[in-house]
Amino acid sequence: MELLKQKILREGKVLPGNVLKVDSFLNHQIDPELMQCIGEEFAGRFADLGVTKILTLESSGIAPSIMTGLKLGVPVVFSRKRKSLTLIDHLYSAKVYSYTKNETSEISASKDYITRDDVVLIIDDFLANGQAVQGLLNIVEQAGASLAGVGIVIEKGFQDGGRLIRERGIHMESLAAIASLTDGKVTFKEEQ
Amino acid sequence: MELLKQKILREGKVLPGNVLKVDSFLNHQIDPELMQCIGEEFAGRFADLGVTKILTLESSGIAPSIMTGLKLGVPVVFSRKRKSLTLIDHLYSAKVYSYTKNETSEISASKDYITRDDVVLIIDDFLANGQAVQGLLNIVEQAGASLAGVGIVIEKGFQDGGRLIRERGIHMESLAAIASLTDGKVTFKEEQ
């Protein structure tokens, strides 16, 4: 998605440890118009699949998901992250390991809002090692729901997450796939 | 806002301790079309005030804020909540006490995105004792920014938060103000 890539090149900051910071439009400040374009792009890429629900993870997944949900005419469910669950009744939960934080958190979603009748589109802001998406996939499996696919705003294509998910035969779309962050410079993968 | 009130009456669940659960459309599952209507309503109520930025709190404040930001054509900044901050450089932070959780958390926002040149509209999903909004107001003050007002989706009008904020002369708008949750029944305040 050209608009997104231009925004990353203009405003993204490459930090040590292959970190790409996009706090100016996605992870802290959010650009609503860009989110609307992202929502339209995801809606187009996952059109005609009978999506009934979008599943994402708080907090940065919410804005792109809500715009996609608006365009597809379906509700969004956001999983909550916490270190330990006090209330596990009537929840699906999955453990998610974060390499950057070196900690395991538990993500959860209510059984009321993801059911076996749902066709779920998973959306998240970033994909690196893919731990968060694997957790969301786990929740979809626990619910016995169908999976339409996985939509990622920014994929770190030089890390393993995307490959592992695609190898499972899952329809995954990323709007900007990064090939490298070497020497503080963002290089994108060629679109196929 | 009639549409919102009808939704609360239809889907809200009153739990012991004056808790109103609206997990089906605001706090866990989100209804994007309703959020769009809410965004349009806030944009109308705070029109012509020169708003340059919306400030909210993760996670449930993000969806109504992003729709308001889209309508007003301004970015959204979401404050992060955490128990303790590891990185306090270049951040405004404020302590927020939660009566329901009986714990104090710290909310923060980057100095890059709220500045003395901004005219800030604060938006949040719920207002009860008003602790979260007081924390956001504190951040606006630290930044030396101007305040356009405070927009709340659901105000628990039988608790103190709204009165305390209005007594400071702040323009506050709530889209559904609840007068009482007695006997499991939602009663709204009369609109003025």
Select the residue of B28, B32, B112 nearest A66 (Cβ to Cβ).
B32
B15 to chain A nearest CA, in Å?
15
Residue A74 vs residues A65, A114, B52, B172: alpha-carbon distances, Å = 10, 12, 30, 31
The pLDDT of residue B192 is above 70? no
- The candidate with the shortest Cα–Cα distance to A31, out of B121, B171, B54, B40, is B54
* CB contact at 8 A, A47 and A105: no
Mean pLDDT over each residue of chain B, to the nearest integer: 94
Parallel, antiparallel or unpaired: strands A103-110 and A91-98: antiparallel
pLDDT value, residue B173: 98
The pLDDT of residue B83 is above 80? no
Chain B interface includes A58 (CB < 8 A): yes
CB within 8 Å: A29 and B66: no
Q: What angle do CA A20, A26, A31 make, to 5 degrees?
A: 135
Amino acid at A188: F
Residues B32-38 have a mean pLDDT of: 98
Please write the tens of the pLDDT for every residue from A32-76.
999 999 999 999 999 999 999 999 999 999 999 999 999 999 999
The pLDDT of residue A178 is above 80? yes
Q: What angle do CA B63, B138, B99 make, to 5 degrees?
A: 70
Contacts of A95 (CB under 8 A, 6+ apart): A104, A105, A106, A135
Was A102 annotated as part of a binding site? Answer: no
Cα-flanking dihedrals φ and ψ of residue B146, to 5°? -90, 155
Best of B22, B28, B111 to substitute, by most chain A Cβ atoms within 10 angstroms, is B28
The pLDDT of residue A5 is above 90? yes
* CB contact at 8 A, B106 and B84: yes
DSSP B189: P
Of residues A192 and A148, more confidently modeled = A148
- In this structure, whether the domain defined by A2-188 belongs to CATH 3.40.50.2020 is answered with yes
Share of chain B above pLDDT 70, in %: 96
CB within 8 Å: A112 and B75: no
pLDDT value, residue A100: 77
A190 to chain B nearest CA, in Å?
30
The pLDDT of residue B87 is above 60? no
pLDDT value, residue B99: 82
Share of chain A above pLDDT 90, in %: 88
- The candidate with the shortest Cα–Cα distance to B113, out of A65, A2, A11, A17, is A11
pLDDT value, residue A48: 95
Amino acid at B97: Y
Encoding tokens for residue B156?
């628990």
The pLDDT of residue B95 is above 80? yes
Burial class (CB in 10 A: 0-12, 13-18, 19+), B119: middle
HSE of A57 in the Cβ direction (CA atoms, 13 Å)?
A: 30
HSE of B189 in the Cβ direction (CA atoms, 13 Å)?
A: 15
CB within 8 Å: B24 and A113: yes
Distance CA(A18)–CA(B176), nearest Å, equals: 45
The pLDDT of residue A115 is above 70? yes
Provide the pLDDT confidence category of residue B32 given band limits of 50, 70 and 90: very high
Dihedral, CA of residue A65, residue A66, residue A68 and residue A74, to nearest 10? 110
Chain A interface includes B27 (CB < 8 A): no
CATH classification code of B2-75+112-184: 3.40.50.2020
Provide the pLDDT confidence category of residue B100 given band limits of 50, 70 and 90: confident
Burial class (CB in 10 A: 0-12, 13-18, 19+), B102: exposed
pLDDT value, residue B39: 98
Chain B interface includes A66 (CB < 8 A): yes
pLDDT value, residue A188: 98
pLDDT value, residue A83: 57
Residue of B nearest to A31 (CA): B75
CB contacts < 8 A (A, B)? 99
CB within 8 Å: A33 and B70: yes
Was A129 annotated as part of a binding site? Answer: yes
Alpha helices in chain A (DSSP H): 2-11, 32-45, 62-72, 131-143, 161-167
Contacts of A169 (CB under 8 A, 6+ apart): none
Contacts of B190 (CB under 8 A, 6+ apart): none
CB within 8 Å: B32 and A58: no
Distance CA(A150)–CA(A121), nearest Å, equals: 6
pLDDT value, residue A102: 87
